[in-house]
Chains A and B, each alone.
Chain A
Amino acid sequence: MTDTTTILAETRARIADAPDVEALRAIEREVVGKDGVVASLLKSIPGLPAEERKGAGQSANELKQAVLAAIEEREASLGSAALEAERRADGFDGTLPPPRVERGTLHPVTQVTRELEDLFTSMGYMVLDGPEVELDDYNFEKLNIPADHPARDTQDTFYCSSPGSSASLLLRTHTSPVQVRAMERLEPPFRAIVPGKVFRQETTDASHEHTFHQMEGLVIDRNVSVGHLIGAMKTLLRGIFKKEIEVRLRPGYFPFVEPGFELDARCPFCTDGCSVCKRTTWIELLPCGLVHPNVLKAGGLDPEEWGGFAFGLGLSRLVMLRYGIDDVRHLLGGDLRFLDQF
């Protein structure tokens, strides 16, 4: 029979070399298991001379305890080595690119429109909608632009036909028709904005589009003055540019307002001229004016009692200014590489 000391020494060596817990369990089974070395030692005891039996039993038990202790020790050390390895995290590179997160986008025109809607609704303006296919009457006549008015020259209009209809239809050239539609429908006083698509028969290039977005604003009240208009426009610009913007009002001719203005804002992108402001430090931003008495009449309001102001903000232009977009055609082009940027 083998000497337990030798067995212990051999087993300890194997335990020390065991690479993992599974190997330890195998050694454990082999040495102290049901049919293991220790068990066979114990089984052999009855065949020993009586005086050796006690000693043999003792050594077998000692062997078992020693092996179990060695396994436990080794297991603990293996465990902490695993922890350490986990902590060491060999080869980890946190700068590897993470997986792409796909996302959707809101169109930049929607984003800017919403911002303005929020600003205006907080000041009591309603948000109105109007038809894109409009009657000549609302787009021109009721806005004090009779047939053969020279202003119609500058409004390159898409005139339309619609099967079965004899109405004079067109694609609205501005959001202004909603002015009269609003006056007809709403009880004054009221405040409203009208974001929407408008159309001009125009050859397209990087800065001209036949379809673009505008936002009309209309305030109808008693005793509305140019001073109120200036105040409202300054509030609007603060909302857009998030800072105080110097403005100037100069005469501008639009038949549906009188007096009519062009509102220029001090270029927010430079102090001494840049390409955005064409080196003038002023950006022509929004046409506006006091609602023309003839338009009030067309909307069923008495110009002696009611007055108001109106303005038209070029949403597409504002979006281009905001993001530095150099080609207006991107806005309606639907190119994902463009849309993905917003």
Chain B
Amino acid sequence: MFISMKWLARHVDLTGITPEQLADDLTLSTCEVEGIERFAPHMSDVVVGHVLEREPHPDADKLGVARVDVGGDEPLQIVCGAPNLAPGQRVAVATIGTVLPGDFKIKKSKIRGVESRGMICSVRELDLGDEHDGIWVLPEVGETPLAVGQPVAAALGMEDWVIEVDNKSLTHRPDLWGHRGIARELAAIYERELKPIDLEMPALGGGAPVSVRVEDPACSRYLGLAIDGAVNGVSPDWLRELLLAVGQRPIDLLVDLSNFVMLDLGQPNHAFDRDQLAVDGIVVRKARAGERMTTLDGEERELVESDLLITSGGDPVALAGVMGGEGSKVGDDTGRLLLECATFDATTVRRTSARLAHRTDSSARFEKTLDPTLPEAAAAHFANLLRGLQPGVSFPCALADAGEWSDPARSIHLRGDVVRRDLGVALHDDAIASILSRLGLTPTAAGGGFDVAIPSARALKDLTMERDLVEEVGRIHRYGSVPEAPLVGAIEPPPFDRRRQMVRAVEDRLAGAARFHQVLSYSFTPDDLLERTGCAAGDFVRAKNPVAPDMARVRREVLPSLLGLVESARRERDVVRLFELGKGYRPEEAGEDGMPREVHQLAMVLALPTTAADAPFDAGAFFQLRAAVDDVISAAGVTAPCWSSADTAHPAAHPVKQVAGAWSEELDGCGFVASLEPGVARALGLEGELASDVAVAVLDMDALLAAPPSPPTYRPLPKFPMVKVDVACVAPSEMPAAELGGMIEKAGKGAVRDLQLFDVFRGEALGEGKKSLAYHVVLQSDTKTLTDKDAQKFLGRLERSLEQQGAALRR
């Protein structure tokens, strides 16, 4: 919202206060000022000129050549086409070098062979209105003609500053949506008087009031003032300039006055041409399905049943609180008016303006919930201003006043101690009372505090409880004067938070030793990505108003978010390691409160260029990722789970190349590690040049939290030397390595300290359906030095147990 300083000065004396000061003070006490700007700054460059003579242009019938005195040594010769240019006039001259609105710089020029040294401006060229059928003949000010050569702004007293206030900071203050409201704040801040203005209704004639019937409670008050004998036309300059300063184009006197009253008091109002109404009466009702009306911007609008209408003779004449109708708008020949000042329901107006995507100055104000006593003041203000300009107007009949409303003015009890406690300042009761009074609130000492009378303008939603008054005192007293205070009380370290600690340990290990990049993703997964990763099945929480139609689904799991990044990342580099700790939502497991179950997951992706056929068995992404997963589980301080071949049924997991981890029958599984499903890999674009060996893993953080902890434990260093034995086992292809490992452990009778698989081999030499696994085995005892004999015994035990399982030891 734009506020004019000159306009404010109609309500409060601002002598000695700079625009910067005012902006700061408003910001610190009332609302956020976003900027200050001079009104029409170019008007300080355009100067008053005196037209000495005008002669026809030798080569162009419609042009004239004027000699204009602008206070220099010589008059300027200016070529001008305006028909109304005449000697003796005072005009606005843009001399060479002046920049006019639209970044239009005046240069010396030749027009049809005649030199022109400047421009005599029209109102439109100065951005002061739409008139452009001639140059602007400056008005007379006082007795003597305007001094030639001085800036027009100074000569006409047009200097003004425009303050832009952030509308959001006024959301809760309908009283600040007009200049008088802001002026009241300034009066309180500067301890100056709020100048009285005449808001008394003028004497009204004895005629019967215009018939007004309110049929819907969304209009709590409808006030209609009939005015006769108005003469519409151009508004006086002071009015035009104030409107221009706040960004409102002057239209004509009646519309300008209506706007002025709204911008002055914050009460939207509407002037109907009473002669254009179908019948001389108003009915306020909801729209009927299919009803249409043309608003005064010329648009035909289709209405719905929740729209509130002002109708006359059955036809809509205004969309309540949003915009008037085309048919009954005031025009040049309007003489009889019906001025509407009403109170409409905030939600109704907001819904209509939102539905039509048409916010107006009026709807913006009604949305804030307006004071139902304000229409009367606004009607009186309009009447008095018009009568001041046109003493001939009359008010033929009593005010029509319909609707059901009550004065919201109330009283709130305020304790001085509560003010002091909540603000943390030692503020005397007198100081509190003074601030309240300056704000137009009336405190009366009562019960060790005050009963504070809240006027209707602030009583609706803004000031409803004691704490609201604490704020009033605080902001005028200024929060800057509140002394900083330390929180006191016993500070105890917060309870140990294992989840937090585990999350950090996992993040640190992955981003550190494991060299993964942490990603944070959107919670929306695009439909297309879900399809490509095969993860589109299942129920999803969906946004009803997504940013894009294909971005409605709130993710069930984290993995697809990461998979969506692999292709571009692989273009960027060979090895891609990504992880994300995040949440997913499962509607099918909703709680009693109807909220979907929230899962906390760690998802990991490792992508490598496709490994060569002869690479070691553990060179591929799957085993590298398994190593990282085991490592991160150990970093989380959790016992290593058992990994077993399983069907995880995850659509992005390779049907065979996958393992699932679990600790025990009772505990939930921890998740899985898998190679990426080959079809998914292709769908993700990982083929050709980008063909990749990709492994994925998902760990459930809640399962990790529930898993048996495994803090580091000390084990005395070995006292006896170790014996290293290499064993090669030939086993049926389908026998899992984990089983072989178990047999080796068992054969060692507790002496196997370390077991490391170093070769996996399949080949003709072994025979059909066989594989060979070779291990380095470290044997060590806590009680004696192991000998070659012990090693041979170990091998013997191993050989027997292998043979029982259809495997063999290669000696």
User: Which residues of chain A have a CB within 8 Å of any CB of chain B?
Assistant: 102-107, 109-110, 114, 117, 121, 123-127, 129, 131-135, 148, 150-151, 153-154, 158-167, 169, 171, 189, 191, 197, 199, 201-204, 210-211, 213, 219, 221, 223-228, 230-232, 234, 248-253, 255, 258-262, 290, 292-293, 307, 331-332, 334-337, 339-340
Contact = CB atoms under 8 A, between A and B. Distances in A.
Contacts of A290: 422, 467
23 contacts: A104-B511, A104-B515, A109-B520, A110-B507, A110-B520, A123-B491, A126-B494, A127-B500, A133-B596, A153-B171, A158-B543, A161-B542, A162-B541, A162-B542, A167-B595, A169-B595, A189-B489, A203-B547, A228-B424, A292-B467, A339-B518, A339-B519, A340-B517
Contacts of A166: 594
B547 A252 contact: no
A258 B425 contact: no
A227 B595 contact: no
B172 A160 contact: no
A322 to B, nearest CB: 16
B486 A231 contact: yes
A224 B585 CA distance: 37
Contact of A197 (B468, B523, B540, B594): B523
Interface in B410-424: 421-424
Interface string B328-371: 00000000000000000011001000000000000000011100
Contacts of B569: 336
A210 B578 CA distance: 23
Contact of A251 (B31, B573, B598): B31
A224 B568 CA distance: 52
B492 interface: yes
B543 A126 contact: no
Interface in B493-530: 493-495, 497, 499-500, 504, 507-508, 510-512, 514-524
Given A110-B507, A171-B554, A225-B421, A103 B515 contact: yes
A332 B521 contact: yes
Interface stretch (B78-86, B138-146, B470-478): B470-478
A104 B475 contact: no
A151 B172 CA distance: 8
Contact of A226 (B369, B423, B585): B423
A112 to B, nearest CB: 12
B326 interface: no
Given A121-B494, A133-B554, A339-B518, A250 B32 contact: yes
Contacts of A226: 422-425, 474, 479, 482
Contact of A160 (B486, B492, B539, B543): B543
B593 interface: yes
B22 to A, nearest CB: 14
A12 B395 CA distance: 139
Contacts of A204: 547
A201 B543 CA distance: 10
B487 A219 contact: yes
A334 B544 contact: no
A181 to B, nearest CB: 11
Given A161-B542, A169-B541, A331-B520, A232 B487 contact: yes
Contacts of A340: 517
A231 B368 CA distance: 34
Contacts of A230: 479, 482, 484-485
Contacts of A331: 520
For B28, B485, B575, the residue with the greatest tally of chain A CB atoms inside 10 Å of its CB is B485
A293 B424 CA distance: 17
B514 A104 contact: yes
A171 B492 contact: no
B711 interface: no
Contacts of B168: 154, 253
A150 B518 contact: no
A131 B572 contact: no
B565 A164 contact: no
Contacts of A117: 500
B196 interface: no
Contacts of A197: 520, 523
Interface of B: 27-32, 168-169, 171-173, 346-347, 350, 367-369, 421-425, 465, 467-468, 470-471, 474-475, 479-480, 482-487, 489, 491-495, 497, 499-500, 504, 507-508, 510-512, 514-524, 539-547, 554, 561-562, 564-565, 568-569, 572-573, 575-578, 583, 585, 587-588, 590, 593-596, 598
B492 A126 contact: no
Which 10 A-B pairs give the minimum distances between C-beta atoms? A167-B594, A227-B424, A225-B424, A259-B471, A227-B485, A249-B479, A124-B491, A104-B511, A165-B594, A126-B494
A221 B487 contact: yes
Given A162-B594, A211-B523, A227-B425, A124 B480 contact: no
Contacts of B514: 104
Contacts of A167: 590, 593-595
B522 A211 contact: yes
Contacts of B491: 123-124
Given A251-B471, A253-B172, 15 more contacts: A106-B518, A110-B507, A110-B520, A133-B596, A135-B593, A135-B594, A150-B367, A160-B543, A167-B595, A169-B595, A189-B489, A197-B520, A197-B523, A201-B545, A332-B522
Contacts of A163: 539-540, 587-588
A131 B599 CA distance: 10
Contacts of A171: 523, 543, 554
Given A225-B424, A251-B169, A336-B572, A131 B515 contact: no
A100 to B, nearest CB: 10
Contacts of A219: 487
For B172, B346, B562, the residue with the greatest tally of chain A CB atoms inside 10 Å of its CB is B172
Contacts of B543: 158-160, 171, 201
A133 B31 contact: no
For A160, A199, A232, A340, the residue with the greatest tally of chain B CB atoms inside 10 Å of its CB is A160
Nearest to B564: A334
A137 to B, nearest CB: 9
Nearest to A166: B594
B107 to A, nearest CB: 32
A336 B587 contact: no
Nearest to B494: A126
Contact of B347 (A125, A148, A161, A335): A148
A252 B468 CA distance: 13
B517 A104 contact: yes
Contact of A164 (B29, B470, B497, B590): B590
Nearest to A209: B522
Nearest to B596: A162
A193 B542 CA distance: 28
Contacts of A252: 32, 169
A225 B423 contact: yes
A165 B595 contact: yes
Contacts of A161: 541-542, 544
A326 B542 CA distance: 31
Contacts of B594: 135, 162, 165-167, 169
Contacts of A224: 487
A244 to B, nearest CB: 12
B523 A228 contact: no
Contacts of B31: 251
A312 to B, nearest CB: 15
A303 B508 CA distance: 42
A234 to B, nearest CB: 6
A204 B482 CA distance: 39
Contacts of B596: 133, 162, 165, 169
Contacts of B542: 160-162
A150 B511 contact: no
Nearest to B541: A162
Nearest to B497: A127
A153 B394 CA distance: 43
B503 to A, nearest CB: 9
Nearest to B420: A225
